[in-house]
Homo-oligomer: A and B are copies of this chain.
Amino acid sequence: MFELHAQLAADTSQIAESDLNLLLLMNDQNYPWCMLVPKRANIKEVFQLSRNDQHQLMDESSLLAQTLMDSFQAHKINVAALGNVVPQLHIHHVARFQDDAAWPKPIWGQVAAIPYDNERRDSVINTLKLSALDKYFSF
């Protein structure tokens, strides 16, 4: 049975859900940074998902990436499935800006996270709620 990994639960807010994925917001206001976590048990790699799930993941990942780009007027979207520390499959989607804290480097290991206050978190979540994400996701 699928259960969200404790580390992912501790580092994020769950903001929405599709048939396939949880949509999580990373608690770091350095960047609009979301994760997709397929609700499938014991999956560490994308290729372990069924082909149908892989294609659905691609559809949802692309919608999320385009939404982050459009909603936050980002310069670039970074998408990554790493998982060297937390094995449960989770796919990072990070909106990047030429003046962000780590630009142009990848974000991992660059600067300490800055946790959201409630007001800023609500603002980001509301922006995503009002986007095209409702094609797949329920908030």
Question: Does A79 lie at the interface of the complex (its beta carbon under 8 Å from any beta carbon of B)?
Answer: yes
Determine how many copies of this chain the complex contains: 2
- Report the Cα distance A104→B108, complex, angstroms: 11
Chain B residues with CB under 8 A of A80:
78-82, 106
Whether B45 lies near A77 (C-beta < 8 A) is yes
Among A78, A82, A106, max chain B CB count under 10 A is at A82
Among A52-97, those with CB < 8 Å from B are: 54-55, 57-59, 61-63, 65-66, 69, 76-85, 96
Instruction: Pick the residue among B45, B63, B84 that contacts A69 (CB under 8 A).
Output: B45
What distance in Å separates the Cβ of A30 from its nearest Cβ neighbour in chain B?
A: 15
Provide the main secondary structure of the chain A interface: mixed
Question: Does A135 lie at the interface of the complex (its beta carbon under 8 Å from any beta carbon of B)?
Answer: no
Whether B45 lies near A51 (C-beta < 8 A) is no
Residue of B nearest to A77 (CB): B45
- Report the Cα distance A96→B59, complex, angstroms: 27
Chain B residues with CB under 8 A of A77:
45, 47, 81
- Report the Cα distance A81→B109, complex, angstroms: 17
- Report the Cα distance A44→B77, complex, angstroms: 9
Whether A66 lies near B47 (C-beta < 8 A) is yes
